[in-house]
Amino acid sequence: MDFHHIPVLFNETIKMLDCQPGDIIVDGTLGGGGHAQAILERILPGGTLIGIDRDPDALEAARRRLCKYQDSLITIHDNFANIESILGQLGIEAIDGMIMDLGVSSYQLDKGSRGFSYQSNAPLDMRMDPTQGLSAHDVVNKYDERRLTRIISQYGEERWAARIAKFIVDNRPIDTTEQLTQVIKAAIPAKARRQGPHPAKRTFQAIRIEVNKELEILEGAIESAVNKMKSGGRLCIITFHSLEDRIVKNTFKKLQNPCTCPPDAPICICGNQPLIKIVTRKPIIPSEREISENPRSRSAKLRACQKL
């Protein structure tokens, strides 16, 4: 299995994280260890990297890749949303920085058997953590039409959500990615299919987000990470679609300006103090060169904040 691709916005993320020898850094989405290796090289001697991932395959690949750093690396099979309990179990009070590279990894997309991709036929799965209960098969075959419509509309921003949901319900059982792709194609009028991305892209994204609760956990995870950050520590987050990016942007804004007083109040009486400073005034996006070398990077955005 090949986890050895270079992560999106790699140099920009490492520069923005600004880690130093002796730092304790968390990689909330360890993946194949691409970011991790660069971080380890910068925090040694004396530093520790805590690598978290929901995917046991990713953890195994990262351990192999980073074996020469094993004395400075702690790998955890968990969800980065549980950062406070993870650090509590490790006896770590505070960290110097954290990165989250959101969404599905290239490895997960390319390994057809995981069921993330509409471009290869596989059982409907889409679980980032194969040990969890809910799978894409459950969502597609057990959710009612109304719930499916809401998920496909909300998480996929798909204008044909209601039609797709009806076609899914009418064609159950649906067991494979290929079957689901054909149902989606049948639901979308031919003229609409000829425009924009692959007709199944948005629906697959929506189902994947639902299966892995990707958006539900994000705001809380950011707040938890900031809570465990030392003064001056940085949180860097790479997003891949507007829904994720909006949550990151709004959560950063709320943490930078948590005042709940009415706008026309002469003085602040709520007492809420800013927790962070936003470091990226606008999100950092990939260069034209990176997009040409890795088309999947096209929608990536990097935002960073610093704990006050």
The DSSP-derived string for the chain is ----SPPTTHHHHHHHH---TT-EEEETT-TTSHHHHHHHHHHTTT-EEEEEES-HHHHHHHHHHTGGGGGGEEEEES-GGGHHHHHHHHT---EEEEEEE-S--HHHHHSGGGS--TTS--BS---SSTTSS--HHHHHHHS-HHHHHHHHHHHH--TTHHHHHHHHHHT----BHHHHHHHHHHHS-HHHHTSSS-TTHHHHHHHHHHHHTTTTTHHHHHHHHHHTEEEEEEEEEEESSHHHHHHHHHHHHHHH----S-TT-SS--S-PPP-EEES-SS-B---HHHHHH-GGGGG-EEEEEEE-
Write down how long the chain is.
Answer: 308
CATH superfamily for domain 10-103+215-307: Vaccinia Virus protein VP39 (3.40.50.150)
Give me the residues of the chain with pLDDT under 50, please: 1-2
Residue-level pLDDT at 2: 47
Tell me how far apart the alpha carbons of residues 61 and 286 are, in angstroms, rounded to a whole number: 26
Question: Does the domain spanning 114-212 belong to CATH 3.40.50.280?
Answer: no
Residue limits of CATH 1.10.150.170 in the chain: 114-212
Residue-level pLDDT at 112: 67
Residue-level pLDDT at 110: 67
Unique residue bearing structure tokens 């997309």: 109
Residue limits of CATH 3.40.50.150 in the chain: 10-103+215-307
Residue-level pLDDT at 265: 87
Residue-level pLDDT at 1: 44
For residue 193, give both structure tokens: 């299919």
